[in-house]
Amino acid sequence: MRPRAMTKLTFGAAAAATLGLLATLAPTADAHQPSGHKPELKRIGYFTQWGIYGRNFQVKDLETSGTAAKLSHINYAFGVIGADGKCLMGNAPGSDPWADYVRPVDAATSVDGVGDTADQRLAGNFNELRELKAENPGLKVMISLGGWTGSAHFSDAVRTDAGRKTLVASCIDTYIKGNLPVDGARGGAGAAAGIFDGVDLDWEWPGSDGAPGNVIRPEDKPNFTKLVREFRTQLDAYGRSLPKAQRKHYELSAYVPTAPAKIDAGFEVSKIMRDFDFVNLQGYDFHVSGEKTTAQQSALFAKNDFSVDQTVRAWLRRGAPAHKLVVGMPFYGQGWTGVTGGGDGLGQPATGPAPATWVAGSEDYKHLKKLADSGTYKLHRGYRNGHAWLFDGTNLWTYDDPTVLRTKASYVRQNGLGGAMIWSLDGDTANGELITAIDRGLSRR
């Protein structure tokens, strides 16, 4: 699971208190119709490269769970920006060619039921995504560049026009044209052509603190705008250069923050939104388990605090079109242990992150569902605020369940927003309980 730490800020605007205000939040959506299975609203899910290991979450699971049929886009996390200012694959932290395209997938794990052979040029996750797209016509796959631990080199790479051109060209060469490094029989020119339908920028964060050690500059803000323009220019040029029958529009998106200070430090909103097809709003990690007091991590509404509604309003006020705003929704929870003070546990002191399956303080929904069903924890709901939490007197988990996600999907529909984004698909149950709730909520009339 990708951490989404951020600087906590206090801001004065109180969020809306009731769902009755939903219809007045945003302008009516225009005739923009995104592509995919469900053309009316986007359903975007992050697939984590590393989820194939400990979690044993394979591309095939998206098919057997019914998830793929409910998605418009898959964001593949992550592509790596190297110290040389280029998209690279290989000798760099976060890069895993074995998972991406080298690893042979057996018949039982393969989407199409046929195992990879030794002489295939493309294997691993990339080949499975190709098979998944064949089973689900219209499904798009985006390469997500960066991430929390992979944004260290963005600022250096985009300081000059030449640097931006080099970075963008290298990313298009690797992922859109599919020119992969040769690894035995795998890779080579065009080996991954046709897998990726666009680029998702996950620079966390231009102009403000991200992971420790990231370079931050005031000029990141205008340089990010220029980077977006360069991606739009080169993607469009490549799409037009293809043979007439293959010409296409390659999509461009970004993952963007909730905190107004982070938005203002790094994003010229009205300018970048002209070049983006859509942006994915941070809709989670409003509070995290490293804090000393328990709190909501993903509430739809909250007074004098971060919330989905606050995030949407912040981007609208700065000039973002409603139909290009996709609301992030978590398939995991944030948890605390050593909670004291009684009551329902929320807003109380805690001693640290709660024990969890993979990383202390962060737990997949499929495991939280078991806690909710165990009888040990009591489920609490902020009905007016759109969030839920579990509390057993000592441990507290704040998370989204199907009820919360249906409420958020209703919010998206009623306000003419662009759809829902999920971090991350491996947190759902084997039968796709959460994606089904989102899909049904977005489809209702």
| β-sheet bridge partners, residue 254 | 201, 279
User: What is the distance between the alpha carbons of residues 237 and 363, in angstroms, rounded to a whole number?
Assistant: 42
| β-sheet bridge partners, residue 333 | 363
Residue 388: C-alpha distances to residues 360, 369, 382 (Å): 19, 12, 6
Please name which of 52, 184, 64 lies closest in space to residue 126, comparing C-alpha atoms. Answer: 52
Which two tokens mark 64? 């057997």
Residue 175: C-alpha distances to residues 179, 192, 208, 271, 346 (Å): 7, 7, 28, 26, 44
- List alpha helices for 298-445, DSSP H: 308-317, 365-374, 402-414, 433-443
Which two tokens mark 357? 């399956």
Region for 34 from its dihedrals, namely left if φ exceeds 0, alpha if ψ lies in -120 to 50, beta otherwise: beta
Please name which of 16, 3, 2, 84 lies closest in space to residue 51, comparing C-alpha atoms. Answer: 2
Given 63, 128, 131, 204, the catalytic residue: 204
Please name which of 423, 399, 403, 398 lies closest in space to residue 295, comparing C-alpha atoms. Answer: 398
Region for 352 from its dihedrals, namely left if φ exceeds 0, alpha if ψ lies in -120 to 50, beta otherwise: left
Residue 444: C-alpha distances to residues 173, 306, 327, 403 (Å): 40, 27, 17, 14
User: What is the distance between the alpha carbons of residues 171 and 258, in angstroms, rounded to a whole number?
Assistant: 27
184: which residues sit within 8 A by CB, 6+ positions away?
102
Active site residue 204: yes
Neighbour tally for 169: CB within 10 Å: 16
16: which residues sit within 8 A by CB, 6+ positions away?
22, 25, 301, 309
User: What is the distance between the alpha carbons of residues 315 and 260, in angstroms, rounded to a whole number?
Assistant: 9
User: What is the distance between the alpha carbons of residues 388 and 350, in angstroms, rounded to a whole number?
Assistant: 18
336: which residues sit within 8 A by CB, 6+ positions away?
289, 294, 350, 351, 352, 353, 354, 361, 395, 396
Active site amino acids: 204
